[in-house]
A and B are shown apart, each in its own frame.
Chain A
């Protein structure tokens, strides 16, 4: 059965800390791995990763994919209270049609 596992489930840090969120997967017909940030309702897109070893960066956020070991990490440096959210990892699976398989998410709370 296809699955995406995220760790930790929740995390509390102070402003300025650096955090690393983990995502491992076992998915047939892997196409790409995506990270989303979910604050209230709609997940908002952060990164799409298709190739191993190539880091993607956006400001204080960065992510990398290891297709051999089947995992990805999302790093957030110099965290701010506005980073508080649920971070979702999703794998784009192409069995039958293109659909996402999501992990349960990591709930990050950044304290001032």
Chain B
């Protein structure tokens, strides 16, 4: 049973460029959330996808966009990269059972380390 997989693991981009990060959720999970973790900080919620729709967005500009595919995998796109976008981007996989059950937790992928130069 594969866990949450993210690709690529590392990425170096130049300011102004665009980047796409990918996430495949754990088997049986249908909800994908994206988090940004800057160095020395806790992860910050970017947005969540369920049923191929963005359900909620955190305090991130429109340069951050996403998509979810019918197989539940997801992409995070960031346009017009800034130096401040350098961070570890984590994908969290969960089941929509969260809406019905208490004792479930999200599973995180290994993350993509994005460096903007």
Interface residues of A (CB under 8 A from B): 4, 6, 31-32, 34, 36, 40-45, 48, 50, 88, 90, 96-105
Decide yes or no: A42 and B111 within 8 Å by CB, A98-B99, A99-B56, A100-B35 being known contacts.
yes
Q: Is B90 within 8 A of A42, CB to CB?
A: yes
Decide yes or no: A43 and B108 within 8 Å by CB, A48-B103, A98-B98, A100-B35 being known contacts.
yes
Decide yes or no: A102 and B42 within 8 Å by CB, A42-B90, A43-B90 being known contacts.
yes
Total interface residues on B, CB under 8 Å, equals 31
Decide yes or no: A104 and B40 within 8 Å by CB, A41-B110, A45-B105, A48-B103 being known contacts.
yes
- What residue in chain B is nearest A47 (Cβ atoms)? B105
In the assembled complex, which residues on chain B have CB atoms less than 8 Å from the CB atom of A102? 35, 42-44
In the assembled complex, which residues on chain A have CB atoms less than 8 Å from the CB atom of B64? none
Q: Is A97 within 8 A of B111, CB to CB?
A: no
A34 to B42, CA, bound (A): 13
In the assembled complex, which residues on chain B have CB atoms less than 8 Å from the CB atom of A4? 42
Q: Is B105 within 8 A of A34, CB to CB?
A: yes
In the assembled complex, which residues on chain A have CB atoms less than 8 Å from the CB atom of B102? 31-32, 50
In the assembled complex, which residues on chain A have CB atoms less than 8 Å from the CB atom of B103? 48, 50
Q: Is A103 within 8 A of B88, CB to CB?
A: no
Q: Is A101 within 8 A of B45, CB to CB?
A: yes
**B114 interface residue (CB < 8 Å to A):** no
B43-62 interface bits toward A, Cβ cutoff 8 Å, 1 = contact, 0 = none: 11100101000011010000
Decide yes or no: A100 and B109 within 8 Å by CB, A32-B102, A41-B88, A50-B102 being known contacts.
no
A67 to B114, CA, bound (A): 37
In addition to A44-B108, A100-B35, A102-B35, 15 A-B residue pairs with Cβ atoms within 8 Å of each other are: A6-B42, A41-B90, A41-B111, A43-B108, A45-B105, A45-B107, A88-B43, A97-B50, A97-B56, A98-B31, A98-B48, A98-B94, A101-B45, A104-B40, A105-B42
Q: Is B55 within 8 A of A100, CB to CB?
A: no
In the assembled complex, which residues on chain A have CB atoms less than 8 Å from the CB atom of B111? 41-42
